[in-house]
Structure 1
Amino acid sequence: MDPRTKFNILPLLLALSFSPLYGLEDADDLLSMSLNELLNIEVVTATKIAEKSDNAPATVHVISESTIRTRGYRNLKDVLEDIPEVEIQSNAVAEFNNYYTFRGISGNDRFIVLLNGFRFNSPTGSPHVIENNYPLVNVKRVEVILGPASALYGADAFGGIVNIITKDGDKSQGGSADLGAGRFGTREASLSYSRNFGQVYASVTAYGYESDEPTLPDFYPDEYAWYNNQYRNEGLVLVSPFIPVEQELDAEQQGRPYETPNEAQYINIAVQTGNFSFGYATNTESHSSSTGMRPEFNLFVEDAIFEIEVESMYIKHTHRADNDRWFLDSSLWKGTYELTPASKFLNTFTVYRDGFKYADAQTVKAEQQLTYLFENNSTFIAGLSYEDISALPKSGDLPFAFNPNVPAASQDLFYIGTNTTDQNGNDLTVSQQFFDVSYRNLGAYMQYVFKASEKAHITLGARFDDNTRYGSTFNPRAGLVYSPTDKVKLKLLYGSGFLAPSPYVALQHYGSFITVDEGGNATNDPEETAGLFGPFWHLPNPDLEPEELDTYEASLSWYANDHLGIFLNGYHNTVSNRVVNSAQFGREFQGIPVDFAEVPINAGESTSYGGTLRLNLLYPIGQVNLNAYLAYSLSDGDIDDTPLTYSAEDTVRFGAEISYRDFSVAPRILWRSESRHFLVDDNGSNFENDSYSVTHLFVRYDDLLHRGNTRLGAYLRVQNLFDKRYANVPFAQFEAFTATPQDPRHVGGGISITF
């Protein structure tokens, strides 16, 4: 079944959005809270033990339900854009849309996303899409941990962890709904409902999003001049970045309208009874597979999409001792990932024919964790986990959609451009190669949080993993949290991490074959065809080893009074055994000559260092409350003695929430200096985007109608308030922009109802 049919829940949500639903819990009473009380929220992600964020041995950012509602955060991307030391290159990657950097460490596979403590992204480490598929519906808080956490969480907890915690643990009853619309044909709806059935508590949440997205050639005529002229008027593209010869497209591909639709769906079900809990969540996301690409080499048409589906399912049991001194958590989790059969490219690599893609992966994990609480409030945890993993890494470009119900070898799939004959009638067809893998991982970890005194907490921990595919790793951590006064907190931290060579990184391959004559010149004439040739191929390397990370960091927080907080932190990362693409010439693939190939290898080292100075102000003026923040972040470093890429040296974030009773307005401003592309120009300097600032605005009123426990509210959201033209840096090579245009102003609004 097509996942878009299976999970096309938006029409249903639109129909249900005005049903009687339950009320949102009251907003935090900011007028009676100090800044310390507001910011020092209990967290669980840093140590797997509930503790105040100020005491956690990590750099922790907590986004509460109240903040989500007041600032108008719609999805996880909105939240991460406001986190210091996180950088997002939007609309920058054909596959996963946005490209993320945590503290100078770039890549969507270098951090993990959890939902209530269980993994909710690709279970084998494929770079994940973070867009509207992670909506903040029925969410109590989001915990963002910056820095490695492999000492507790193992593989891929490299640059950080994002843990979305829903309100199900509160066992509140009722429901909420939201219905929104906006510019560029944007439509979204959400529904959440919870109820007790005797001793059983259950909740269900659903969300749907659809958008036509802006027609960028109308807003960026210079960048899309080829589309507006050669493609739209004459049906022309270029053969490849390596063969810049004009090619006329087939008639069915000429003159098609510019269409880059975006869709997302999300479902979450939770059930709790006694000491047992069960959770199921799934999300799907599809976007244009020409995102961030140049129109000379890519077609911007409706059916060129990249679509993923992620599922997570768990059952957990907690056994507590009679004296509450120790408890045992037992869990079984299954995660799946699928690059759906509908996914395809229409670009230079597919010779402008349908180039379908497919990938799938699944992991089953059993984990046992013991937690012991000492009389002096020190804690000890120890855990053991076993994972069984299997994956079919991302395929090459397929001539027709993959059938998941039929073995790959039985589908007669071939490499695009090879199903032809030469001038002598010899068949040139080359069958697709698939790289199925299966492996297992055994992990053991321990952590001791020692309360040395009322002012000092020491954390020591380590994890050992033994993997049947890439061997063994050992990752320690250490931390000191010291409080000389009630208003001052000092943290000194060390952490290590490893990034497993995912099947995606090690075994994916892509490129194209073209037919050539006896002189090696491209030809489409069968009577002149002498053979096949590959202008470019990305080739697999199954022998990759894990990347390793060491991080040192320090932070100081000072609550000057009940209204003002000053926070300063610094970090230093060293990544060794990095996976990089090695340029190689004169290679062969499937026995066919390849002019230029790139192959992933372990080579070199990178460093990144920086920090953030942040001010938070919470100030009541009568019944008006001002909650504002200002943060300056510095990021620098090098990659094998070359400049750090995908990380602006200077970033400033400003935001404010101005609230009066049920009315609030929240402006946010992001200013970022230039970020570098990994490609260099003729002078040896990295391509980069220009510095820019962008402003967002959110306005909310929560009491349009208030009858009993039922409340009706409305909101207005404006992205890119001043309609700036600016660019981010894409993660692609010669077929992409060196600075990809960003969306113009987007205005949207909606209503919400609670009961």
Structure 2
Amino acid sequence: MRKSLVILAGLALMAAQAVPVWAAETAAEEKGKAKAVHQGEMVVTATMTEEDINKVPSTTFVVTDQEIKEKAQWSLMDALRDVPGVYIRSNGPFGGVSSLTMRGTQAGQTMLMLDGVRLGDPISTSGSMDMANLLTGGISQIEVVQGPQSTLYGSDAMAGVVNIITKRGQGAPSGWASAGYGSYGTWQGTAGTQGKIDRFNFMLSGGGISTDGVSKVKDGSEDDPYSAYQLNGRFGFDVNDNTEVFFIGYYNKADTDYDGYVNGKYADTADNVKTESYTGIVGLTNSPLAWWNHKLTFSYGSVDHDYSDDSTYKSYLTTAQWRHNLLYKDINTVTLGVNWQQEQGEYSTTWDSLGQQSVDTLSFYLQDQLKVLEGLYLLGGVRNDHHDDFGGHTTWRVGASYSLAATGTTFKGTYGTGFKAPSLYQLYSPYGDKDLDPEKSKGWDLGVVQLLWNKRIELGLTYFNIQTDDLITFDMNTWTYQNLDEVKSQGLEFYAKAHLLSWLAVDFSWTYTDAQDQSTDKDLAYNPRDKGTLGVRLPLFGDRLNIRVWGLYVGDRYTDAANTGEVDSYITVNAAATYKLTKWLSVYGNVVNLFDEDYVEIADYSTLGLSGFIGLRAEF
């Protein structure tokens, strides 16, 4: 691993030294001025209103469609791996069960959303959706908001939210298509179209991947094939200048071979699961008055797992939301709304089953944003959720940011409470307990963002502290779910972005996390204390050639609550390049695990070694 770190640093230095030679060849085309890192990037997830990313009190990171395309990342999980404070692990590559944790919290405590609407799998153990099969086609950007967000989004948002924002058709109709081949017999392709015709806007994207795969278990010899296909779309119609009706949806189908547990150890088996999921959202946005706008949405989604041993798991999630924004000049924005959701699920296996269960939650929320002084931004909100089983639960949040334009400095901080209701599985399965309490959290963070060198450098530092009470865990002694007393997570996040030259951009991040069970003083399983990222972007020859190199460091992790097992730290380095052959045709490729690091994310499960992919992309 140390060798990989040295090579990574050397690679960045060599790139910086070599590029001026290439850049000199196109000096007539290059003006040599780097763009500002911070150019007023706007986000919507942190407050449910459009705001400058550096002014919202909650720490927010954005993964853009450009970054996804330049890195040739087909998987949503891969697109999120480098986000500061986010840790992802999988039970093997190519469709292995995956989990996302944020700031040392647990899987299932971060809400996944599609355009502000929750995506979930209510019959899963945590109630959250496994993101392993979700593809990146049709995405405009992904917004990651950290810290308790239950005030706006309710249960499951106690650690933060990940919001996938779908592309909206605009301009003259256009299209794109790509196809390529890579290691492990992997085929991957995408195609789509978007645009606006009169009052009708549209975006339709489809993609898929098929691979011979690798063994899911570390010491396996049998490859586990995998395939996944996805369709995304957004269609809107402007009824008038103030009103749009729209439909947003996705459909995903995956076929995954995996390895099981035989005679006390993981081994090659012929296990398989077929997964089908979809969500459809219909809605209306309307601005009847200059000081009032509102949005009404209805959604329905389903997740269906069919296993080779005839086990089946089926779940359904239905939601309705009505949100209003009341504005007073540029000083005050009041957001209020009502949200209803119904979770349904059932399963059947060879050893037990659960008939369809259902639970409803009705929620009301209120938020006020104030901008009373130059540079000062204040926020406060409250929410009440009424759950069928445990009744009402109130959460609240306050936040502030203060920007000094003269120095390019922004101070920000939040304090909020969160909660997570027990899942249907945790309540009603043979291993469940109907008397479980919801998980509750309180968290705060303080941070500073500094812009330097005409906004070409951006630095950020944040301290976070999250305390979770009644954490739901599985007791191996009683084989039932139970509430723990208290879990605490605290740490520091640092990031740096620099557009040093027109042909050189660098980003770096480091997150330190101390997450412990307060009753035992033991670290939480699979929570690395250290995680770091380093990336270099080289747009050359007037952006005709684009090269990216990025590395990920993950520290040691304990594999159990008693801290008796441990997996080693690792560094992976990846690279990608795109070259424009013509105005509309490009060749692209990537290399995964450039230095063939031997590592695991989860004990006994494999990861990808040195591998590559090459393809063609057309835009017309």
Letter in 2 for 1:130: M
What runs of 5+ residues in structure 2 fail to find an aligned partner?
1-30, 239-243
Q: Distance in 2 between matches of 1:106 and 1:172?
A: 44
TM-aligned CA deviation for residue 94 of structure 1: 12
- Deviation of the 1:64 alpha carbon: 2.1
Q: Taking structure 1 as reference, are residues 364 and 600 closer, same or farther at Cα in structure 2, changes over 3 Å only?
A: same
**1:552 — aligned with what?**
444
Q: CA deviation at 1:540?
A: 2.5
The verdict on how the C-alpha distance between 1:369 and 1:337 changes in structure 2, with shifts beyond 3 A counting, is: same
Give the Cα–Cα distance (whole angstroms) in 1 for the partners of residues 453 and 465 of structure 2: 30
Q: Which position in structure 1 is the counterpart of 2:494?
A: 613
SS in 2 for 1:77: helix
Map of 1:244 onto structure 2 = none
- Match for residue 284 of structure 1 among 253, 258, 264: 253
2:277 alignment partner, one of 276, 301, 310 = 310
Q: Return the alpha-carbon distance in structure 2 between the equivalents of residues 542 and 46 of structure 1.
A: 33
Q: Is the 8 A contact 1:184 1:211 kept in 2?
A: yes
Equivalent residue for 1:673? Answer: 555
Query: Partner residue of 1:569?
Result: 462
Query: Is the 8 Å Cα contact of residues 93 and 99 (structure 1) preserved in structure 2?
Result: no
Query: Does 1:120 find its partner at 2:119?
Result: yes
CA contact (8 A) 1:647 1:675 kept: yes
Residue 586 of structure 2 aligns with which residue? 713
- Equivalent residue for 2:425, pick from 487, 501, 504: 504
Does residue 1:601 correspond to 2:487, yes or no?
no
Q: How does 1:454-533 map to 2 (within 5 A)?
A: 454-486=374-406, 487-509=408-430
CA distances 1:94-126 after superposition (whole Å, capped 9, x unpaired): 99622322110121x222222222223325662
In structure 1, distance between residues paired with 2:468 and 2:589: 43
Normalising by structure 2, report the TM-score.
Answer: 0.88
Structure 2 equivalent of residue 87 of structure 1 = 87
Q: 1:581-592 to 2 correspondence within 5 Å?
A: 581-584=474-477
Q: Match of 2:366?
A: 446
CA distance in 1, matches of 2:274, 2:443: 35
Match of 2:391, as an amino acid? G
Q: Which residue of 2 aligns with 1:33?
A: 35
With 656-665 and 329-338 compared, the bigger mean Cα shift is at 329-338
What SS class does the counterpart of residue 184 from structure 2 fall into? coil
User: Does residue 365 of structure 2 align to residue 385 of structure 1?
Assistant: no
What TM-score comes out, normalization by structure 1 length?
A: 0.73
What's the CA shift for 1:456? 0.8
Instruction: Tell me, yes or no, if structure 1 residue 698 matches structure 2 residue 591.
Output: no
What residue is the counterpart of 1:587 in the other structure? none
Given the superposition, is the C-alpha separation of residues 280 and 95 from structure 1 closer, same or farther in structure 2, using an over 3 Å criterion? closer
CA distance in 2, matches of 1:198, 1:379: 32
Q: Distance in 2 between matches of 1:642 and 1:30?
A: 52
Kept after mapping to 2: 8 A contact 1:577/1:604: yes
Contact 1:287–1:305 (CA under 8 A) maintained in structure 2 = yes
- How many Å apart are 1:605 and its aligned residue? 1.0
| Structure 1 Cα separation of the partners of residues 526 and 153 of structure 2 | 26
- CA change 1:285–1:295 in 2 (3 A) is farther
Equivalent-residue separation in structure 2 for 1:264 and 1:95 (angstroms): 8
User: Could you say what secondary structure the match of 1:541 adopts?
Assistant: coil
Deviates more, 1:559-568 or 1:66-75: 66-75
CA contact 2:173–2:197 (8 Å) conserved in 1? no
Kindly report which structure 2 residues correspond to 1:650-689, keeping only aligned pairs within 5 A, or say none: 650-660=530-540, 661=542, 662-678=544-560, 680=562, 685-689=563-567
CA gap of 1:92–1:495, structure 2 versus 1, over 3 A, is: farther
The within-5 A match list for 1:318-467 is: 318-322=285-289, 324-339=290-305, 341=306, 343-344=307-308, 355-392=309-346, 394-395=347-348, 397-398=349-350, 415=351, 432-467=352-387
Q: Is the 8 A contact 2:93 2:608 kept in 1?
A: no
CA distance in 2, matches of 1:160, 1:571: 12
Partner of 2:23: none
1:646 is matched by which residue type in structure 2? Y
Counterpart-to-counterpart distance in 2, 1:499 and 1:289: 30
Structure 2 CA distance for aligned equivalents of residues 470 and 338 of structure 1: 27
State whether residues 515 and 527 of structure 2, in contact with CA within 8 Å, keep that contact through their aligned partners in structure 1: no
1:728 is aligned to 601
What does residue 236 of structure 2 align with?
Answer: 272
Q: How many angstroms apart in 1 are the aligned matches of 2:602 and 2:399?
A: 35
1:636 is displaced (CA, Å) by: 0.6
Deviation at 1:301, TM superposition (A): 4.1
Amino acid at match of 2:503: N
Q: Any idea what the Cα deviations from partners look like across 1:37-90, whole Å, max 9, x if unmatched?
A: 1xx410000111001101112110012232223333333212211011111223
Q: Which of the residues 601, 610, 615 maps onto 1:745?
A: 610
Report the alpha carbon displacement of residue 578 of structure 1 after superposing the two structures with TM.
0.9
Shift of 1:687: 0.8
Contact 2:63–2:80 at 8 Å: present in 1 too? no
Letter in 2 for 1:723: D
Taking a change above 3 Å as real, the CA distance of residues 311 and 31 of structure 1, as seen in their structure-2 partners, is: farther
Return the alpha-carbon distance in structure 2 between the equivalents of residues 477 and 206 of structure 1. 39
Alpha-carbon distance in 1 for matches of 2:182, 2:489: 39
Asked if the contact 1:548/1:575 (under 8 Å) is kept, the reply is yes
**Shift of residue 93 of structure 1?**
10
Instruction: Give how far 1:474 is off.
Output: 0.7
Where 1:82 maps in the other structure, the secondary structure is coil
CA offsets, 1:720-744, max 9 Å, x none?
A: 01111112235xxxxxx3xx33221
CA deviation profile, 1:123-175 (whole Å, cap 9, x unmatched): 566242223x3222232211111122110011111222111112215466211
The answer to whether the aligner puts 1:300 opposite 2:301 as a matched pair is no
How many residue pairs end up in the alignment?
577
Cα displacement (A) at 1:33:
2.4
- Whichever structure has more strand as a proportion of its residues is 2
Larger-Rg structure:
1
Q: Secondary structure at the match of 2:49?
A: coil
2:223 matched residue in structure 1:
259
CA contact (8 A) 1:688 1:729 kept: no
Q: Which runs of 5+ in 1 are unaligned?
A: 1-28, 218-222, 229-257, 345-354, 399-414, 416-431, 510-538, 585-596, 731-736
The amino acid of 1:579's aligned partner reads: I
* 1:674–1:575 distance in 2 versus 1, CA, 3 Å: same
What is the aligned partner in structure 1 of residue 188 from structure 2?
Answer: 188
Contact 1:121 1:310 in 2 (8 A): no
How far residue 705 of structure 1 moved from its aligned partner, in angstroms, is: 2.4
Q: For 1:214 and 1:583, how far apart are their aligned partners in 2?
A: 31
Q: Is the 8 A contact 2:122 2:344 kept in 1?
A: no
Report the residue type matching 1:564 in the other structure. I
Distance verdict in 2 for CA 1:80–1:172, change over 3 Å = farther
Tell me which amino acid in the other structure corresponds to 1:453.
Answer: L
Distance in 2, matches of 1:626 and 1:713, equals 21
Give the percent of matched residue pairs that are identical in Structure 1 and Structure 2: 21
The answer to which of 448-457 and 158-167 deviates more is 158-167
Check 1:162–1:749 CA distance in 2 against 1; reply closer, same or farther (3 A cut).
same
Aligned to 2:513: 635
Classify 1:129/1:307 alpha carbon distance in 2 versus 1 (closer, same or farther; 3 Å): farther
Instruction: Tell me, in whole angstroms, the C-alpha distance in 2 between the residues paired with 1:268 and 1:357.
Output: 28
Residues 630/752 of structure 1: CA separation in 2 closer, same or farther (3 Å cut): same
- Inter-partner Cα distance in structure 2 for 1:459 and 1:145: 15
Tell me, in whole angstroms, the C-alpha distance in 1 between the residues paired with 2:255 and 2:410. Answer: 44
> CA, structure 1 residues 41+75, in 2 after alignment: closer, same or farther (shift >3 Å)?
farther
